[in-house]
């Protein structure tokens, strides 16, 4: 499911600055409680309402060909769950429907190919970090852009869903056991896929990176801006006129 496919390149640079005024009039909802995703979108000039998804995240990575497909489909389910709520869809006396709902899901795929989500406990976090030590792993962030008021050209029905996934390769240095234990004790790994956050102390574990940095934080900014630009250029996402 989920409707893959690009929404157009959005003019190479993919910057939203030229649309800043119009974007400020859009009702944008972030279907995630992640403060990191909110900060990343804020850097683009978007100030989304935060409505964390209640999707159970129970699709199961074993049901997918790999971590990338799993992350993309989870992002779609998260965004559609939020887009379907009355307060977002504009039903039952709620404010006007959202123009854009953004869902995201980030997973880490270990060098051995195992999908690592948020650790269950401290021992789980330590196990994940040992699996990443001294090797290259992949970080997949699935993104779903849901337009509750726009019809999907293929079905003629709303909502329009644009879904994609971005992958970044991250190389970790060898992690001594004392370092693993100290990092786990700090509490930083506990709410993060793969048991680390690149923007925190674990940034010092990273020997190299290939691909989009912000993707590892939780949202691939260049790809997101390119896709939103494509929706704007196609007239599918239109800021309300003053």
- Asked if residue 235 lies in contact with residue 195, where contact means CB atoms within 8 angstroms, the answer is no
- CA torsion, ordered 152, 218, 39, 231, to nearest 10 deg: -20
Number of residues that this document lists for the chain: 242
Tell me the chain's radius of gyration from C-alpha atoms.
Answer: 18
If you write DSSP's letter for every residue of 130-150 in order, what string do you get? HHHTTSEEEEEEEEEEEETTS
Q: Which residue has the tokens 């429907």?
A: 97
3-state secondary structure of 73: helix
- Positions marked catalytic: 105
Tally Cβ neighbours within 10 Å of residue 49.
16
Q: Give the whole-angstrom CA distance, residue 139 versus residue 168.
A: 5
Residue 161 CA, distance from chain mean position: 14
- Those residues with Cβ within 8 angstroms of residue 210's Cβ, 6 or more apart along the chain or in another chain: 168, 169, 170
């Amino acid at each position: 499911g989920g409707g893959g496919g690009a929404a157009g390149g959005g003019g190479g640079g993919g910057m939203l600055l030229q649309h800043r005024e119009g974007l400020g009039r859009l009702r944008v909802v972030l279907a995630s409680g992640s403060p990191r995703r909110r900060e990343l979108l804020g850097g683009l000039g978007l100030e989304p309402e935060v409505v964390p998804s209640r999707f159970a995240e129970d699709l199961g990575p074993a049901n997918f060909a790999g971590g990338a497909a799993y992350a993309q489909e989870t992002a779609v389910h998260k965004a559609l769950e939020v887009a379907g709520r009355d307060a977002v869809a504009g039903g039952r006396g709620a404010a006007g429907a959202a123009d854009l709902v953004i869902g995201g899901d980030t997973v880490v795929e270990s060098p051995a190919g195992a999908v690592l989500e948020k650790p269950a406990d401290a021992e789980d976090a330590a196990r994940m970090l040992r699996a990443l030590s001294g090797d290259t792993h992949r970080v997949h962030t699935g993104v779903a852009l849901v337009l509750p008021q726009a019809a999907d050209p293929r079905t003629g029905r709303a909502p329009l869903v644009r879904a994609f996934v971005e992958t970044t390769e991250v190389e970790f240095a060898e992690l001594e056991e004392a370092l693993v234990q100290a990092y786990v004790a700090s509490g930083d790994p506990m709410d993060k896929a793969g048991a680390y956050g690149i923007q925190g102390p674990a940034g010092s574990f990273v020997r190299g990176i290939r691909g989009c940095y912000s993707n590892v934080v939780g949202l691939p900014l260049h790809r997101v801006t390119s896709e939103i630009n494509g929706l704007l250029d196609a007239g599918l996402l239109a800021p309300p006129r003053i």
